[in-house]
Amino acid sequence: PPSRPGVVQHPVTSFFRRLQTWINLLDPTLLLSSDPEIQKAHTLIGSSKPQDKKDESALTLSLSSVHADSGAALPLVFRPPAFLPIAAPLVVASLLPQSSVKPALFWQFLLQSYCAGFNHANRNSSTEQDKKASLKQLLLIAGTASYTSCAGALPQIFINRLGIRSPAVQTFFRSLFPIPLSAALAFFSVFTIRSEESETGIQVFDRNGNPVGISKAAAEKAVRETALSRAALFGTTAAVPNLLVLLLKRTRLFQRNSLLAAPFRHISVALVLGLMVPVSFSLFPQLGTIKREMLEEELQDRAAGGRLFYHRGL
């Protein structure tokens, strides 16, 4: 795969190879490394190919902590290894049946704000001149977090405002409606936060790692793939525990011990999220490819081998 000077990227491999890589990159102990250690590892990998275990450790640290476009260390809370420890309690709390609208809004706001910040920190910034967030980007983050927070609390809003008392209807709003809603909001968050990439385009490279131009088509593909992977993450995390609880509530064990449902839901949400994070991150390669026929006309002649490469973001 092509490599860009000073920038480490994931190789284009099979899904299972990517999954194995992401399992290593999501190790929370990597968060203990200091910025000088991260930059040292990044410099080492940028100057040579990994040859021994020390180089492999440097590669893992660099991939998990450094932005692929800027080469700067990511903010601690928005690094991939920090995603699961921070998001897990927020996802568990946001999927809990609430007694009123305020706690539902509170947990949704925390979750959606963190996701918006994570999406922005891990975007493709190859065409940005100023690495600091612009006013437009800040407004997008704030607006997206606010909108998705209100939308995420819709099940509880409907139950309270409509005075729903029917157990069947409450089950629909608390167990079934959050499944497509979680997936749609996750897709919307990525798509909106990174909309500027689709407007301006992102850098694309040939097989030797040489930049050949700016492509809006590649940007749209990168944003779409990332949005789909995030929708798969949150949609599955909402679906599996909720459907399992609905099924188990029909068993004698759960009918006799109704208090078992709550801890089972908490544990299953955390477990499914933990399993889906590396799976969703692995659905599409970080070093994406785009075929010649999908590119703009002015870039098609530069697509040696029939394709160009781009950094997808996360």
Mean pLDDT, range 84-100, rounded to an integer: 92
Cβ partners under 8 Å of residue 193, min gap 6? 116, 119, 120, 123, 140, 141, 144
Cβ partners under 8 Å of residue 138, min gap 6? none
The span from the CA of 223 to the CA of 107, in Å, is 26
- pLDDT category of residue 184 using cuts at 50, 70 and 90: very high
Q: What is the pLDDT of residue 50?
A: 52
Radius of gyration of the chain (CA): 21
pLDDT in tens, 125-171: 888 766 666 788 889 899 999 999 999 999 999 988 888 888 888 88
Q: What is the pLDDT of residue 252?
A: 85
Angle at which helix 53-65 crosses helix 80-94, to 10 degrees, equals 50
pLDDT in tens, 188-242: 999 999 988 888 889 998 888 888 889 999 999 999 999 999 999 999 999 999 9
Q: What is the pLDDT of residue 106?
A: 95
Higher pLDDT, 189 or 302: 189
* Structural contact between residues 223 and 311, judged by C-beta atoms closer than 8 angstroms: no
The answer for 206, left when phi > 0, alpha when psi is -120 to 50, beta otherwise, is beta
Tell me what the pLDDT averaged over the chain comes to: 86
In 3D space, the residue among 312, 287, 314, 300 whose CA is nearest the CA of residue 1 turns out to be 287
Cβ partners under 8 Å of residue 287, min gap 6? 1, 2, 9, 10, 11, 12, 309, 310, 311, 312
Concatenate the DSSP letters of all residues of 171-231 into one string. HIIIIITHHHHHHHHHHHHHHHHTHHHHHH-EEEE-TTS-EEEEEHHHHHHHHHHHHHHHH
Task: Please count the CA atoms within 13 angstroms of the CA of 280 that sit on its side-chain side.
Answer: 25
Please give the single-letter amino acid code of residue 198.
S
Among 115-119, 205-209, 288-292, top mean pLDDT goes to 115-119
The span from the CA of 277 to the CA of 230, in Å, is 9
pLDDT in tens, 10-53: 444 688 989 998 999 999 999 998 888 888 888 877 655 555 55
Percentage of the chain modeled with pLDDT above 90: 45
The span from the CA of 71 to the CA of 93, in Å, is 35
- pLDDT category of residue 5 using cuts at 50, 70 and 90: very low
Q: What is the pLDDT of residue 131?
A: 60
- pLDDT category of residue 261 using cuts at 50, 70 and 90: confident
Buried b (16+ CB within 10 A) or exposed e, 192-229: bbbbbbbeebbbbbbeeeeebebbebbbbbbbbbbbbb
* Structural contact between residues 200 and 290, judged by C-beta atoms closer than 8 angstroms: no
